[in-house]
Structure 1
């Protein structure tokens, strides 16, 4: 490496002025460098090295994970509150909002969040390598690609009524759902900006501002939803328009923070025509990220669809929907650790710290696993009463209690699997994981679940058990790949990947 390349790996000069406090990015750099130094110090006893390193890593992880969990939970609450507000208009409106949220919106959410995850890989590694000027370019490239994708998704929203009827929904519910979905069209383009901005900030370990913005927006969202739906009388359309507006409030507030904050002055230099170059290579990484995440997001939606084909679909759907809601809440915690794992791994690889990257993977996986085991045990302890938070029906309560062992196992797997996906994003393995997901989820899990559920007459338990089998296989594969990784080679790949963006004639990813 020549001296000019080496400059990218040296931290920017820090001010020595005594009145200035260190920026969080400086603290992160110092902690990261200290972690690598401790792990490389063979003069210290192994246990002492690991004890000190674990404390440093835990501080870095929870600084990232806690606000990230808050952001995802608040986003989840905004959609859920819109559904609740719509439900108080009537049963038809509740069905329409539920269908619009879980049938149409989740498709766009998974696709856009997945494509936005490409920013995690590149911004995270560039930030670790101190190539700060490239983060703003990556952000703009991602927004351009996601906006173009949003234009295509708009046609799905516009023609959602015939699509829903084609999928077997009644014309009455499909018509009402279409009205709700039309109000979500502006939300598509909020997604196109929000996810890249969110990942851009996360790559710099700036997560708390997004949490504060989301929390404030949730309050505004609840008040506006009540006023527009009940006082103005705009009904379903008003509920979805307010949800779209709330997402745009989050986007605008985050962008203002980026432009005005001193913490982003090195990474945001304004709009650049360079953002329009290298779009095809960026698209390949974005597409891999989208496929990886969408296959995971849609997997358990397939479980609900299959359950609707059972002999007693109403009971199966009621019990499964309660279990999936509980799983969704706990899953938000795992998604927070997913974001933290991605940032930590990408930052360390970009900084040329292989030992820190490997150690971070072990710590974040262990912590997330412990939390998920505790969640699973709580579910098992409350298995006979957990459903009464949703319904008073004793038959449903018994069905939910019967499914709780599978729910607990799913929670434990979800404590590990999303973290490994975050590691994959941090390393740039999205395309590989997409192939693994196809094989484990849709070649093994869905057919096995169908076989157990329908052929062997095990019902919802059989379908869920088979699909858990696919998740177990995927988790084992990712664990083996992750813990057998040569992290020195991953550092080399990260360096080549970042340098490739300086040489526009080469492809983004060679592996």
Structure 2
């Protein structure tokens, strides 16, 4: 399979370069020592790189888990208010995630390229400009998204949802709008800190925010009796408190002294540079999440929708928690690769990628073995229904395969963000999930009557296809060309700064 014209410029190096890290053959220490002259001893370099990546990945795993728990805690409180409130809030969560949260999170991922490469190039002030630019663009995006959230009920009724649930979801979504604008600040701020490897504060601040959120949920929902809409209100309050804490840290911490030099009108210049990376970056995230939402809707068309949809939802919740580990590794490799490319160290960027891929495969196999051995235990975290527990247990082999594939392609997606080839990454998501995943799910579920197992087969095929495409691109990257392009990107952005636009 020959590379297309789109990929030809990048895919010109190392067609037989393995992704896995090893000590012979494609000898990393030799490659590293010749261009950069730093790491004469491979084992020393490897220990340093592994340590650096896990110091980044560990706090990010914790921070992301705590962020997820904020929404879960809200649903736990709502769950005691009746089935209509719970159904409405769950549907609202799916709707707002698909139309807003994932869009903003994906666009903020552009900072992994921009801030990461600027930081690696020691153009620290650029990171602060990129941060402000991202917040400005994401805030503008919140305006049309808010109109969608305000009119959730007509959209849900149009696609066949129950009218009462649709109205409840609309009420919940409307009260979530303040949290949407908070995300326009918090997502870029977190990426800004991540690209500087300042990740411990993210974990600490996420823990503080979660503790405040639990207290506010009790106060507003139960003590004041605001009802299920109170969960949405508290979500917004908690996220704005988090934004306040993040802002204080960025403004006063010595860590950000070089990267944050104050507000500047230069943030409003060259918006196109940000959008050129942010839009494909958002598509990478959204195409994947939209696919899973579509498959969840498909599960509702099965012969026993109550059992099969509930079982599929529980299995997805288990996988979501497990994915926190590869997500942290993905963010770590994105940071390391972008920093190294920005610093003009292509061989170190390539080596960092190999370290993370090796770690991800080990992690994926470990998680898959846990899924198999504890298949009767994990479902009990979410349900006590014996029928659902048994059904989820029978899905364990499929979940084990998905765990390995998700770990692998998740890390390669992080490499894509670090390198700045989100456009190619978006194409792999489109082909993998919509060209293969969903069609195979429909075929195996309804034509061959595999029921919910057919959905899993489709997900596996989609994950495998995307992983294969990402592997092909990554194996054939011209790392020197990527480093040159990172240098050019940073210099181009710097040329547009006039240094006289700092606001008092």
TM-score of the superposed pair, with normalisation by structure 1: 0.89
Of 245, 258, 262, the residue aligned with 2:250 is: 258
Note if 1:239 corresponds to 2:231: yes
1:120-131 correspondence to structure 2 within 5 Å:
120-131=112-123
Of 473, 491, 494, the residue aligned with 1:499 is: 491
| Cα contact 1:182–1:237 (8 A) shared by 2 | no
Secondary structure of 1:495's counterpart equals helix
Distance 2:180 2:363 in 1: 33
**What corresponds to 2:202 in structure 1?**
210
Note if 1:154 corresponds to 2:137: no
In the TM superposition, what is the alpha-carbon distance from 1:161 to its structure 2 partner? Answer: 1.3
Secondary structure of 1:235's counterpart equals coil
Q: Count the aligned residue pairs.
A: 467
Distance 1:386 1:349 in 2: 41
Q: Specify every segment of 5 or more residues in structure 2 that has no aligned partner in the other structure, as ranges.
A: 1-27, 498-504
Note if 1:426 corresponds to 2:418: yes
In the TM superposition, what is the alpha-carbon distance from 1:42 to its structure 2 partner? Answer: 6.3
Distance 2:182 2:282 in 1: 17
Secondary structure of 1:501's counterpart equals helix
Note if 1:436 corresponds to 2:428: yes
1:164-175 correspondence to structure 2 within 5 Å:
164-175=156-167
Note if 1:268 corresponds to 2:260: yes
1:202-351 correspondence to structure 2 within 5 Å:
202-351=194-343
Distance 1:137 1:391 in 2: 47
In the TM superposition, what is the alpha-carbon distance from 1:256 to its structure 2 partner? Answer: 0.8
Alpha-carbon distance change, 502 to 378 in structure 1, aligned in 2, over 3 angstroms: same
1:282-317: CA deviation from partner (whole Å, max 9, x where unpaired): 112111110111112222222211111111111111
| Cα contact 2:29–2:40 (8 A) shared by 1 | no
1:358-377 correspondence to structure 2 within 5 Å:
358-377=350-369
1:84-138: CA deviation from partner (whole Å, max 9, x where unpaired): 1001111111111111112323431210000001111010000000001111110
Note if 1:408 corresponds to 2:408: no
Of 444, 450, 453, the residue aligned with 1:461 is: 453
| Cα contact 2:32–2:348 (8 A) shared by 1 | no
The structure showing larger relative contact order (alpha-carbon pairs under 8 Å, at least 6 residues apart) is 2
Distance 1:104 1:408 in 2: 29
In the TM superposition, what is the alpha-carbon distance from 1:51 to its structure 2 partner? Answer: 1.8
Distance 1:133 1:390 in 2: 46
Of 65, 69, 78, the residue aligned with 2:57 is: 65
**What corresponds to 2:19 in structure 1?**
none
1:41-190 correspondence to structure 2 within 5 Å:
41=33, 49-190=41-182
Q: Specify every segment of 5 or more residues in structure 1 that has no aligned partner in the other structure, as ranges.
A: 1-35, 506-511
